[in-house]
Structure 1
Amino acid sequence: MSEILRVENLKKSYDGFVAVNGVSFGVAKGELKALIGPNGAGKSTCFNMLTGQHRPTEGEVFLDGENITGRKTRDVWRKGVGRTFQITGTYQSMTVIENVQMALMSHHRKLFSMMPRAWKLYRDEAFEFLDTVAMADQADRPCSVLAYGDLKRLELAIALTHRPRLLLMDEPTAGMAPSARIELMQLVADIVKDQGVSVLFTEHDMDVVFAHAHHIMVLNRGELIADGSVTEVRNNPQVQEVYLGGGTLFKEEDAHA
């Protein structure tokens, strides 16, 4: 299977502190891949370099074979890389569908149309994205009254509006109830399967990771210590040591290749 993302020897240091140290990995087209690790392992720093928010100290990032290292965030976004964040950033004063319409106006370079008729732009297309995340029935509700799990779904719809080839999701289920976490990641898994979008996500909930990831990478102190199937990561002694001091990370029956 060909790769949508290839990272080579990625490094980021700040005044002598090395946050990410020589990380190399790939994400295949149509793959749902998890990047896990303890707090401070370098996961968010790695994401920020992939999306152009931070310039790597060393190393290169390739998107579908094209070198995008150090490109500006908006350029990376235009190339087909989307991102969701741990803390949602929707416009609370707007309705659900207006938030999606705003994203579509940005995608279609129509933000100059911020005028009384703007509410009519791309409304049908916005409904389609809301339907994808099971939010169409809440289209005209103000975001300020939504449950947190619904805000996460809305953020996903917004991230999909420019039809990304690669979607980076930073702690997508943070702050959600356990059942809502599984539902959201099942939705993401369905999108990966149906639309062929590649997804790289960070997550602390191991139940979510083991239930949905095709493959798992593990960062610790800025270094990649494992990259493989759920079974391979589960049986990796170094991963066991990082997470549970040598104990069993999860049960055999939880694993899938």
Structure 2
Amino acid sequence: MSVVLETRGLTRRFGGLVAVNDVSFSLQKGELLALIGPNGAGKSTCFNMLMGQLKPTRGTVHLMGDEITGLTPRQIWRRGVGRTFQITGTYASMTVIENVQMALLSHHGQVFNILRYAHKMHRERAMALLEMVGMQAQAERHCAVLAYGDLKRLELAIALAHDPTLLLMDEPTAGMAPRERIALMKLTADIVRDQGVSVLFTEHDMDVVFAHAHRIMVLNRGELIADGNAEAIRNDPRVQEVYLGGGTLFNAQDEGEHA
């Protein structure tokens, strides 16, 4: 498999505080990689450096072999990196399909010159994306009346409108009911498998992580302390100490229930 994303010695300081310290990892094509850790571990800071919201104090970020360190979020987005956020950012006054159409218009560089005709454009592709995330039946509903779980699925469709090579998902299931969390990450795993998109996501729900991630990385106090498959992470004493003070992080019986 080819390497889609690679960081080398990624570090970010805020004055005397080291939020992320010498983090190096790679993400393969078609891989679903989880980045976990307790609150304050540095996950969001790491994400913000990958997407250009923050510049690293030291270290580099590479996308498909090219260095993207220091590029703006829009420049990185144009290179094929999508992102979803902890808090959804859809247009509440627009319908579901109009939100996806706006993303497609942006992807094609058409936002500023054809707004009068925007509602007629890219409808077929927008509907295909909504079908992919199970939202086609709600295409004409306004986002203001959607349930939170549906907004999260719509946000995923919007991110996919750019045909990304890499998708960064910052706590994609935050605020969702347990059943909705499992459903959204199963949907994401299916997209990874079917579309070949690489996904890096942060998550606090260990059921979601162990049920769907191909590989798991653990951050603690800004440092990468573990990187491996579910079994390796589950049995790593450093990870157990971080999460449960030495207890078992997740057992095999529970994993079978959520697979």
Q: Is the 8 A contact 1:230 1:255 kept in 2?
A: no
CA offset at residue 255 of structure 1?
Answer: 5.3
Structure 1 residue 254, shift from structure 2 partner: 4.5
Secondary structure class of the residue paired with 2:250: coil
Amino acid at match of 1:241: E
Q: Distance in 1 between matches of 2:162 and 2:245?
A: 43
TM-score normalised per structure 2 = 0.97
1:226·1:233 contact (CA, 8 Å) conserved in 2? yes
Residue 199 of structure 2 corresponds to residue 199 of structure 1 = yes
**Deviation for aligned residue 1:21:** 0.4
Q: Distance in 2 between matches of 1:111 and 1:22?
A: 39
Q: What one-letter code is carried by the residue in structure 2 that aligns with 1:175?
A: G
Identity in percent: 69
Report whether the alignment pairs 1:87 with 2:84.
no
SS of aligned partner of 2:112: helix
2:187 corresponds to which residue? 187
List aligned pairs for 1:201-220, cutoff 5 A.
201-220=201-220
Could you report, residue by residue, the CA deviation over 1:181-200 in whole angstroms, capped at 9, with x for unpaired residues?
11100000000000000000
Aligned-residue offset at 1:125: 1.0
The answer (yes or no) to whether the contact 1:11–1:57 under 8 Å persists in 2 is yes
Query: What displacement does 1:2 show?
Result: 2.1
Partner residue of 1:65?
65
SS in 2 for 1:40: coil
**C-alpha separation in 2, matches of 1:242 and 1:112:** 49
Structure-2 separation of matches of 1:199 and 1:39: 21
Q: Deviations over 1:35-55 (max 9, x none)?
A: 000001000000000001100
CA gap of 1:79–1:115, structure 2 versus 1, over 3 A, is closer
Unaligned ranges ≥5, structure 2:
none
* CA shift digits 1:224-248 (9 cap, x unpaired): 0000011111111100000000011
Decide whether the 8 Å contact of 1:216 with 1:229 is kept in 2: yes
For 1:89 and 1:115, the matched residues in 2 are separated by 20
> Within 2, Cα distance between the matches of 1:198 and 1:255?
23
Per the TM alignment, residue 15 of structure 1 is displaced from its structure 2 partner at its CA by: 1.1
2: CA distance between counterparts of 1:8 and 1:255? 33
Query: Is it true that 1:47 corresponds to 2:51 in the alignment?
Result: no
Tell me, in whole angstroms, the C-alpha distance in 2 between the residues paired with 1:94 and 1:147: 15
Q: What is the rounded CA distance, in whole Å, between the counterparts of 1:135 and 1:176 in structure 2? A: 17
Q: Partner of 1:191: helix, strand, or coil?
A: helix
Deviation at 1:112, TM superposition (A): 1.2
For structure 1, the 5+ residue unaligned runs are: none
Q: Which residue number in structure 1 is paired with residue 104 of structure 2?
A: 104
Judge conservation of contact 2:172–2:201 (CA < 8 Å) in 1. Answer: yes
> 1:227 touches 1:233 (CA, 8 Å); kept in 2?
yes
- Deviation of residue 116 (structure 1)? 2.8
Query: For 2:14 and 2:188, how far apart are their aligned partners in 1?
Result: 34
Q: TM-score, normalized by length of structure 1?
A: 0.98
- Answer yes or no: is the 8 Å Cα contact 1:220–1:242 preserved in 2: yes
Report the counterpart of residue 156 of structure 1 in structure 2.
156
Deviation at 1:118, TM superposition (A): 1.5
Instruction: Give aligned pairs, total.
Output: 256
What is the CA distance between 1:176 and its match in structure 2?
A: 0.6
Q: Which residue number in structure 2 is paired with residue 171 of structure 1?
A: 171
Q: Which amino acid aligns with 2:186?
A: Q
SS at match of 1:232: helix
CA distance in 2, matches of 1:166, 1:253: 32
Is contact 2:207-2:255 (8 Å) kept?
Answer: no
